[in-house]
Amino acid sequence: MTAPITLVSTLKGLRLDRWMADEIEDFSRSRLKALIEDGRVTCNGELVLNPATKTVADATYVLEVPELLAADPVPEDIPLEIAFEDEHLIVVNKPAGMPVHPATGNWTGTLVHALLFHCSGSLSGIGGVERPGIVHRLDKDTSGLLVAAKSDAAHHGLAEQFAAHTVERAYIAFTRSSPEPRKGRIETRIARSDTDRKKMAVVNKANSAAGKHAITNYETIASYGREGGAMLGRGLAAKVECRLETGRTHQIRVHMAHIGCPLLGDPVYGRGRSQKLKELDDGRAFKDFRRQALHARLLGFIHPITKKRLSFETPLPKDMQKLEHFLGTL
pLDDT of residue 90: 95
Domain end call among 130, 164, 198 = 164
Residue 38 dihedral angles phi and psi, to the nearest 5°: -85, 5
- Say which CATH number the domain at 34 has: 3.10.290.10
- Among 81, 77, 44, 39, CA closest to 59: 44
Domain co-membership, 10 together with 94: no
Q: Would the pTM count as exceeding 0.85? A: no
Which of the listed ranges 36-50, 106-120, 166-180, 197-211 does the model predict with the highest average pLDDT? 166-180
Highest mean pLDDT among 31-40, 231-240, 261-270: 261-270
Q: Are residues 144 and 204 in the same domain?
A: no
Q: Is the domain of 104 the same as that of 217?
A: no
Q: Residues with catalytic annotation?
A: 139
Region 18-27 average pLDDT: 84
Do 99 and 180 sit in the same domain of this protein? Answer: no
Give the model's confidence band at 211: pLDDT under 50 very low, under 70 low, under 90 confident, else very high.
confident
- Whether 271 maps to a domain, the answer reads yes
Task: Average the pLDDT over 242-252 and give the result.
Answer: 94
Q: Find how far residue 141's CA is from the centre of its chain.
A: 10
> What pLDDT, on a 0 to 100 scale, did the predictor assign at position 283?
65
> How many Å apart are CA 97 and CA 292, to the nearest integer?
11
Q: Is the pLDDT of residue 1 over 60?
A: no
Shared domain for 239 and 193, answered yes or no, is: yes
Query: Given this model, what pLDDT does residue 180 score?
Result: 93
User: Is residue 145 located within the same domain as residue 290?
Assistant: no
Does any domain span residue 158? yes
| 110 in the same domain as 11 | no
Residues 146 and 202 in one domain: no
In a domain, residue 74? The reply is no
Look at residue 270 and give its three-state secondary structure.
Answer: coil
Domain assignment of residue 311, yes or no: no
Choosing from 146, 164, 182, the residue where a domain stops is: 164
Give me the pLDDT at residue 230, please: 57
pLDDT tens per residue, range 290-330: 899 999 999 999 999 999 999 999 999 999 999 999 999 88
Contact by Cβ (8 Å): 111, 79 = no
Mean per-residue pLDDT over the chain, rounded: 87
Indicate if 273 and 323 belong to the same structural domain: yes
58 and 109 assigned to the same domain? no
Contacts of 271 (CB under 8 A, 6+ apart): 257, 262
**Is a pLDDT exceeding 50 seen at residue 53?**
yes
Query: In this predicted structure, what is the pLDDT of residue 207?
Result: 62
What are residue 150's DSSP bridge partners?
A: none
pLDDT of residue 194: 78
Average pLDDT over residues 189-213: 81
Kindly report, residue by residue over 125-175, the tens digit of the pLDDT. 443 333 447 889 899 999 999 999 988 788 889 989 998 999 999 999 999
**Which distant-in-sequence residues (6+ apart) come within 8 Å of 96 by Cβ?**
140, 141, 142, 143, 291, 317, 319
User: Which of 141, 164, 187 finishes a domain?
Assistant: 164
Residue 159 is assigned to a structural domain of this protein: yes
* 15 found inside a domain: yes
Taking only the tens place, the pLDDT of each residue in 189-198 is 998 887 777 7
Residue 131 confidence (pLDDT)? 42
Burial of 326 (0-12, 13-18, 19+ CB in 10 A): buried
Taking residue 189's Cβ as centre, other Cβ atoms within 10 Å add up to: 17
Q: Are residues 292 and 223 in the same domain?
A: yes
* 309 located within any domain: no
Residues 123 and 93 in one domain: yes
User: Residue 310 falls within a domain, yes or no?
Assistant: no
Q: What is the pLDDT of residue 128?
A: 37
Q: Coil, strand or helix: which one is 145? A: strand
Q: What is the CATH number of the domain that holds 265?
A: 3.30.2350.10
Split into its structural domains, the chain has a count of 3
Residue 127 domain boundaries: 82-164
